[in-house]
Amino acid sequence: MTKIAIVTGSVRPGRKSLEVAHWVQSIASKRSDATFEIVDIADFELPVWDEAVPPSVKPGGEKPHTKAWSDKIAAYDGYVFVVSEYNHSITGALKNALDHLKPELENKAAGFVSYGSVGGARAVEHLRGILSELQVAHVRNSVAM
């Protein structure tokens, strides 16, 4: 069965990101051709990237937090990113989380559910650029609230 992760985009206490992730899961779970699990980046308490070499050279890194995050993300076939807009981009937390990854995401697929004053569109466009570098195929259509 195809495994899809619904990935939160914010670690802010009281964040909407987790609520939106649950809403996405409630709708997605009506499908029978894939499983949908929430992956909350806050659970991984990732520090700002602190490995000696990039994930393209040493996937999973040296540190336990990098390995835990790498193993988690590697377990999925595709991703729905819940995208909060911070200063016309994605959150620093999501960018940092993605900076820990490379082969875990390669040749996989992603979609977006975003929110913000212009539907989080600016954040999604930035995220598309980052995911292109990580060799993720991102779907054109997205949900913007």
Instruction: Give the binding site for ligand FMN (CB under 6 A).
Output: 10, 12, 15-17, 84-88, 116-117
**Residue 118 CB, nearest distance to ligand FMN (Å)?**
6
**Burial of residue 32, with CB atoms counted within 10 A of its CB: 0-12 exposed, 13-18 middle, 19 or more buried:** exposed
- Cβ nearer to ligand FMN, comparing 85 with 104: 85
In eight-state DSSP terms, residue 62 is S
- Cβ nearer to ligand FMN, comparing 15 with 138: 15
- Cβ nearer to ligand FMN, comparing 137 with 145: 145
Q: How far apart are CA 76 and CA 28, in angstroms?
A: 15
**Residue 115 CB, nearest distance to ligand FMN (Å)?**
7
Are 82 and 6 a contacting pair, CB within 8 Å? yes
**Residue 134 CB, nearest distance to ligand FMN (Å)?**
22
In eight-state DSSP terms, residue 58 is S
